[in-house]
Structure 1
Amino acid sequence: MSKQIVYTDQAPAPIGPYSQAVKINGTLFVSGQIALDVAGQGDIKAETQKVMENLGAILKAAGMDYANVVKSSIFVKDMNNFAAINEVYGQYFTSEPPARETVEVARLPKDVNVEISVIAVQ
C-alpha cells in the first residue's frame, strides 16, 4: 500500500489535523473544500465557484482532473440554494457526472454556505 499526501498552495491550507487529499493505490480522497476569503461571501454561486476551483487545484496536484472524479459529497447550509449550486457544479461535469449526494446541514466550518468533497480514480 502506497499512501501519498497531496498538497497544493493553490487551495486553502487545512484548518485542522487533516490533509487536503490522500492518494492511495490510484484513488484520491479529497477533503471537503470551502470558500475561504471569497469576495462574494454569502453569494452561493461565488462560494461554489471557489470551492470547485479549490478542488480542481488539488486534483491537478495529484495528476488528475474533474474527469477522474467518481463520487462527490455536497454539504449545504440551505437546501434552497440547491439549484444555484447545481448551476455552477454542472459546469465542471458536463458529461458522465460522478455519483453524488447533497445534504443540508446546520452549520459548516467558518460559517460558509457550501462544502464539497470528492473521490477520484486514475
Structure 2
Amino acid sequence: MERTAVNPWDWSIKLGYHQAEVIEGATRQLICAGQTAVDGAGAPQHPDDMRGQISLALDNLEAVLAGAGLDLSHVVKLGIYATDVDAALSNFDLMGRRFGPHQVAPPMTLLGVTRLALPGLMFEIEATAMA
C-alpha cells in the first residue's frame, strides 16, 4: 500500500494530520467501530479522566487492528468524538505518541458531542484501515 499526502496548506501537518491521502495498492479494508475507554466486559473506565480515556481508547483500537493482523500504520481515516474538545486537544500528544512511530498522520475529524453511548465516556475514536 502506498500513501501520498495531499495538503494544499500546511497548518494541519502541525496538528498531526493530513488534509487527505491518496491510497494506492491496498487490497483489504477494515472499518472499525468507535473505540472508547471500556474494559473487556464493556464497562467504562477512567471516569472524569480524559487522558486515561484517550489512552485506553487507543489501546482498544490497537487491539481491534491487531485482531485483523493490522496496526496503526494501516489507519487511513479517523473520526474522533469528545464531550470536551478542549480537554481532548490538550491530551492529543497521546495521538502523536501512538501514531508517530508509525510515521503516519491519517486525515481526521474531531467533533464535540454532548454525550457518548455510555454515561461517563468522554472520548471515542473510529478508524478505517487498509492493507
Q: Structure 1 residues 36-45 or 68-77, which shifts more? A: 36-45
Structure 2 counterpart of 1:65: 71
Q: Match of 1:105, as an amino acid?
A: V
1:51 is the counterpart of 2:53: no
Which 4+ stretches in 1 moved above 2 angstroms? Answer: 37-40, 82-85
Runs of 5+ unmatched residues, structure 1: 1-24
Q: CA RMSD in A?
A: 1.4
Asked if the contact 1:74/1:101 (under 8 Å) is kept, the reply is: yes
1:101 is the counterpart of 2:116: no
In our comparison, the structure showing a higher alpha carbon Rg is 2
Q: Distance in 2 between matches of 1:43 and 1:120?
A: 28
Q: Match of 2:46, as an amino acid?
A: G
* Aligned-pair CA distance for 1:84: 3.0
Matched length: 98
1:117 is the counterpart of 2:126: yes
Q: Distance in 1 between matches of 2:111 and 2:90?
A: 15
Asked if the contact 1:47/1:113 (under 8 Å) is kept, the reply is: yes
TM-score of the superposition, structure 1-length normalised?
A: 0.75
Structure 1 counterpart of 2:34: 32
Q: Match of 2:127, as an amino acid?
A: V
Asked if the contact 1:72/1:98 (under 8 Å) is kept, the reply is: yes
Deviation sequence 1:50-85 (CA, Å, 0-9, x none): 000000001001010000000001000011213233
* Aligned-pair CA distance for 1:116: 0.4
Q: Distance in 2 between matches of 1:58 and 1:49?
A: 14
Identity over aligned pairs, percent: 27
TM-score of the superposition, structure 2-length normalised?
A: 0.70
